[in-house]
């Protein structure tokens, strides 16, 4: 199987899981976090909704500095479920377009993650895309903990959830 086809398949599965994770996100808790060192709820759900766009960035750009000397403009917060769903679909579509327009050979070229102008990770675009999907799964898991602590519905993502009637 071609890498591009495999990643398109993974993308569809991960987007569907992400849709389930965002489906019942309670509104009005954007600044809440379970611990002072934890990410704020609103930032977490916004990042999860936009993460599929990272696939497009990895394909269309050669690098990303996550701590540039001149900060990037921060996107507006995504405060409603509709905004989250819309952002996720836009991010997924950008990933689909980028994956459909590239080749396996190109995915083996180098990509660099920087912080403060210094490379912190250099790997193939393919490996970075694989890590991006793992990173998305990690943050969805983090979201399920936040949802439980907020007494919200926790969806079944890779297996049973006490809130999913298929498993109770």
Residue with tokens 């936009």: 50
Give the mean model confidence (pLDDT) for residues 22-51: 95
Higher pLDDT, 74 or 84: 84
pTM, entire model: 0.92
Show Cβ contacts of residue 19 under 8 Å, excluding neighbours closer than 6 positions.
85, 88
Domain 3-167 is found in CATH 3.40.50.2300: no
pLDDT of residue 104: 97
Determine if residue 73 is labeled as part of a ligand binding site: no
What residue segments make up the domains of the chain, in order of their start?
3-167
Show Cβ contacts of residue 139 under 8 Å, excluding neighbours closer than 6 positions.
44, 47, 48, 51
Cβ-based neighbour number of residue 45 at 10 Å: 30
Q: What length is written for the chain?
A: 168
Q: Please determine, for residue 46, whether its predicted confidence score (pLDDT) is greater than 80.
A: yes
pLDDT of residue 24: 85
Determine if residue 135 is labeled as part of a ligand binding site: yes
Side-chain half-sphere of 1: how many Cα atoms within 13 Å?
8
Give the lowest-confidence range in 64-78, 124-138, 148-162. Answer: 64-78
What's the rounded Cα separation, in Å, for the pair 42 and 156? 21
Integer angstrom CA distances of residue 151 from 26, 35, 75 = 9, 16, 28
């Amino acid at each position: 199987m071609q890498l591009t086809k495999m990643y398109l398949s993974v993308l569809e599965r991960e987007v569907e899981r992400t849709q389930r994770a965002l489906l019942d996100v309670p509104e009005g808790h954007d600044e809440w976090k379970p611990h002072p060192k934890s990410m704020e709820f609103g930032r977490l759900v916004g990042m999860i909704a936009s993460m599929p766009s990272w696939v497009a960035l990895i394909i269309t750009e050669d690098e990303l500095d996550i701590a540039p000397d001149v900060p990037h403009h921060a996107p507006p917060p995504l405060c409603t479920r509709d905004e989250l769903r819309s952002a996720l679909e836009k991010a997924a579509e950008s990933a689909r377009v980028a994956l459909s327009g590239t080749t396996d050979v190109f995915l083996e070229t180098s990509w660099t993650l920087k912080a403060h102008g210094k490379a912190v990770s250099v790997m193939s675009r393919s490996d970075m895309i694989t890590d991006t999907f793992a990173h998305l799964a990690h943050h969805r898991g983090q979201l399920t903990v936040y949802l439980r602590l907020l007494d919200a519905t926790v969806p079944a993502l890779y297996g049973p959830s006490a809130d999913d009637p298929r498993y109770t």
